[in-house]
Structure 1
Amino acid sequence: MEYTLKNNFLEVRVNSFGSELTGIRDLKTNEEYVWQKDPKFWAKSSPVLFPFVGALKDNKYSYQGKTYDFPFKHGFARDYEHKVSDKGENFIEFIFSSNEETKKLYPFDFNFYMKYILDGRKVKIEYRVENLGNEDMYFSLGAHPAFTAPLKDGMDYSDYYLEFEKEENGDAKVLNGALIAAGKTENIFSGKILKLSKDRFINDAIIFEKTNSNVVYLKNTKNDRKIGFEYDGFRYIAFWNVPGAEYVCFEPWNGISDFDNCSGKLEEKVGIEKIAKKETYKRAIEITIFEV
């Protein structure tokens, strides 16, 4: 079911299936900033990545001596119906909990919350993970919103660029298929500006670790429209699209695909998060649609 938050500036739409953001519309210009799901390229708009980000080596992992088959990329939370746990005039919160089906794939008891808050021209998404078990819980968390580019007719994808708030060295992870190549990086850019082009993501996502910036902007060379994206508290930031599609994904991650030389043990997985029994983990991102 789709739910709507609305104020004098923006209309935000969220689907309870996967707690997926499906729209951010500027009410002044009537422009839609979220990618509107074209199955020809990609049938998602903003899936949540939990309890894993990316792919697992050989589609499996081991934990406490037991091997679990896990054939899904980016976890499973995006593929379940979530329930509304709380709702107010300017926010809505969803909950997804472990069940018999999830525990066959992932042996932890949890509550996973996503809360959307509309504040002026900002959309804040809060994530909360509750460990309901009596042992440490290992997991990853990531966001994956896709923003429309170009936004207006007469513009091209190559008119767009990413601008980091601080200077970056632009060293990105190197992929080995769906996995990360151990010990390898590739310099993509330097400075603050990463230009987009139709073949920019021909080799899949571009992944940066521990950027100097906590904010990155989506801008273009033809007008003053821009989006601000804050991802403080996330170790990785990735960008991606299907070449030829008119969007770019902003993907803050705490977690990453397995490295090609990994042991397969969950406790040793690079980038994995851990919370103790009965602990709660919180992160948030913030999207700003600037007025033009």
Structure 2
Amino acid sequence: MYNLENEKLKINVKKIGAELCKIVSVKHDTNFMWNADSNVWGSFAPNLFPIIGALKNNTYILENESFELPKHGFIRHNTDIQLHKQNENSLVFKLTYNEALLKMYPFKFEFYITYKLNDNSLEVQHTIKNIDNKVLYFSLGGHPAFKCPVFENENYDDYILEFEQIESSNTHLINPQNGLISSNTRAIFNNTNQLKLTHNLFNDDALVFKDLKSRKVTLKSNLNGEILSVSYPDYNYLGIWAKPNGDFVCIEPWLGIADNENTNQDFKTKEGILKLDANKTFEASYLIEINNAHLH
């Protein structure tokens, strides 16, 4: 376990998957992250690369060859990821391609994830370096799970998510049989910027948004006000998810999306796929900001 601390916050990051697992108030010891109860959902904040969600039959096609990848890719349970460098306010982890990964993802790459503390916020930065001599195709995202409710006097349905802009948007429904995006949608926002949290909101799996105007979401309690916010200016898809019986909510900035049921599985034309030219570097960051009212 790796630790980082400043005057307001301390974080813990697991070596496996370089997974963030705690954001804690230094003064009050309040933890804002889900505890990864394995009876409900045993993760904290998986890092998603080089795909988001599920592939059709766990398979994609590249240059007429088939490859298999697990849901959300191969970072989240990876034991080869290493601490690359550390200073007083940041931790940088690195994974370099290897022979085993080339069998499922035939690209030479370096994956970095940086956790940087600054005052009451944590920046999570993804960096991809293409060290191959061909175009690299990938998706990328975060999956942080925040405790909800945070305080003992609250219930789950005391909470809302407040978006920075008024939205009129549908969720793209996930087929429960295969985890793929179906052609069906359901209205979630009707000219509002608030989403009331209830456990049954997630009976049909994650809410998946492709067209939100907002790039910031705030978790708010009716009893204790604004708890934290997630800003994601570099990400154009957003997932909101919890287990129906889980006291948490995931706010997931994505660059990419699970396969559509009707996909032809061609990786190069997959919805949301990013392209990175040889010897180029790509960066994207999201920011978790804890409201100062809960840190004093």
2:201 is the alignment partner of 1:186: no
- Unaligned runs of 5+ residues in structure 2 are none
Q: TM-score, normalised by structure 1?
A: 0.97
2:5 partner amino acid? K
| Cα distance, 1:185 vs structure 2 | 2.2
In the aligned structure 1, how far is the partner of 2:211 from the partner of 2:141? 15
| Cα distance, 1:74 vs structure 2 | 0.4
Match of 2:76?
78
- Give the alignment of 1:36-185 within 5 angstroms: 36-70=35-69, 72-81=70-79, 82-177=81-176, 178-182=179-183, 184-185=184-185
1:195 partner amino acid? K
Identical positions, percent: 35
In the aligned structure 2, how far is the partner of 1:136 from the partner of 1:193? 40
In the aligned structure 2, how far is the partner of 1:107 from the partner of 1:76? 13
| Cα distance, 1:210 vs structure 2 | 2.9
1:290 partner amino acid? N
- Give the alignment of 1:157-236 within 5 angstroms: 157-177=156-176, 178-182=179-183, 184-190=184-190, 191-236=192-237
Runs ≥4 residues deviating over 3 A:
none
1:89 partner amino acid? E
In the aligned structure 2, how far is the partner of 1:206 from the partner of 1:289? 23
Instruction: Say which SS state the counterpart of residue 201 (structure 2) adopts.
Output: coil
Task: Please say if residues 137 and 274 of structure 1, whose CA atoms lie closer than 8 Å, have aligned partners that are also in contact.
Answer: yes
Instruction: Say which SS state the counterpart of residue 58 (structure 1) adopts.
Output: helix
**How many pairs were matched up?**
289
Match of 1:261?
262
In the aligned structure 2, how far is the partner of 1:130 from the partner of 1:124? 19
Task: Please say if residues 173 and 204 of structure 2, whose CA atoms lie closer than 8 Å, have aligned partners that are also in contact.
Answer: no
1:267 partner amino acid? K
In the aligned structure 2, how far is the partner of 1:269 from the partner of 1:11? 38
2:280 is the alignment partner of 1:279: yes
In the aligned structure 1, how far is the partner of 2:187 from the partner of 2:271? 21
Task: Please say if residues 225 and 291 of structure 1, whose CA atoms lie closer than 8 Å, have aligned partners that are also in contact.
Answer: no
| Cα distance, 1:225 vs structure 2 | 4.2
Instruction: Say which SS state the counterpart of residue 7 (structure 2) adopts.
Output: coil
Instruction: Say which SS state the counterpart of residue 101 (structure 1) adopts.
Output: helix
Per-residue CA deviations over 1:234-276 (Å, capped at 9, x if unaligned) read 1101110111111000111111111111111101101111111
- Unaligned runs of 5+ residues in structure 1 are none
Q: TM-score, normalised by structure 2?
A: 0.95
In the aligned structure 2, how far is the partner of 1:100 from the partner of 1:130? 17
Instruction: Say which SS state the counterpart of residue 18 (structure 1) adopts.
Output: helix
